[in-house]
Chain A
């Protein structure tokens, strides 16, 4: 029997953020731009809501934040921790499983 999917849609921003930060450290604005780029602007939300997601992940130990002064601006850079990497692996697996199920349903012949 399939597992239940509590992070089905609500985990999407987390998944994207963790995936992007797994490659390199970034600050909020960079992350939003990268999300827009990699999703081909398919996900459009108010950009300010990225910060609660980042802070929630930081609070849970999945991300680590570091303040840096760059060109007179104070930036908060985020990196993925080992715990965050594990969470990313878990969310990726969940997402692949769910999307494969949905794709299978969409590609299946219509019910009689």
Chain B
């Protein structure tokens, strides 16, 4: 039986709005706790399988742990605790960054824009020269 990695618990907590930093910390401590329980059970003379079963039983089910964690609102991500404040902040960020978006785009795509400008410039020059030459031919002809 492999050691539990608590994937189900991790997903449930993240979906429940628990702060990811806290989720990682809780998983680290639960894994360590499980390892301690298993090691103590083996030291008490249990077989490998028995030790794993005992460790799982003593730690409690993932559903129970998840429900207890989710009952603590202070462990949730701030955006879940204050959704209106988070929405206002997101809107403010969008409004603040919107006018800068074209400038940022130009900076990010600088080389492509320079190449494109040069190509358009050369094409304009060629077409203009051709047009001037044809006009000149009409005038002298």
Chain A interfacial positions (CB closer than 8 Å to B)? 27-29, 32, 45-49, 51-52, 55-56, 59-60, 73-76
Contact = CB atoms under 8 A, between A and B. Distances in A.
Contacts of A60: 74
A27 B22 CA distance: 16
A75 B28 CA distance: 9
Interface in B12-43: 22, 25-26, 28-30, 32-33, 35-37
B59 interface: yes
Give the contact-size bracket for chain B.
20 to 34
Nearest to B71: A52
Contacts of B29: 27-28, 51, 76
Contacts of B36: 29
Q: Which secondary structure characterizes the binding site on chain A?
A: helix
26 contacts: A27-B32, A28-B32, A29-B37, A32-B33, A46-B58, A46-B59, A47-B59, A48-B30, A48-B64, A48-B65, A49-B60, A49-B65, A51-B26, A51-B29, A51-B33, A52-B69, A52-B71, A52-B72, A55-B22, A55-B25, A55-B26, A55-B72, A56-B72, A56-B74, A73-B32, A74-B28
A52 B68 contact: yes
Interface of B: 22, 25-26, 28-30, 32-33, 35-37, 58-61, 64-65, 68-69, 71-72, 74-75
Given A52-B68, A52-B75, A46 B60 contact: yes
Contacts of B68: 49, 52
Contact of A56 (B28, B35, B61, B75): B75
A51 B18 CA distance: 14
Contacts of A47: 33, 37, 58-60
A75 B36 CA distance: 11
Interface pairs A-B: 3 shortest CB-CB:
A46-B60, A48-B65, A29-B36
Contacts of B25: 55, 76
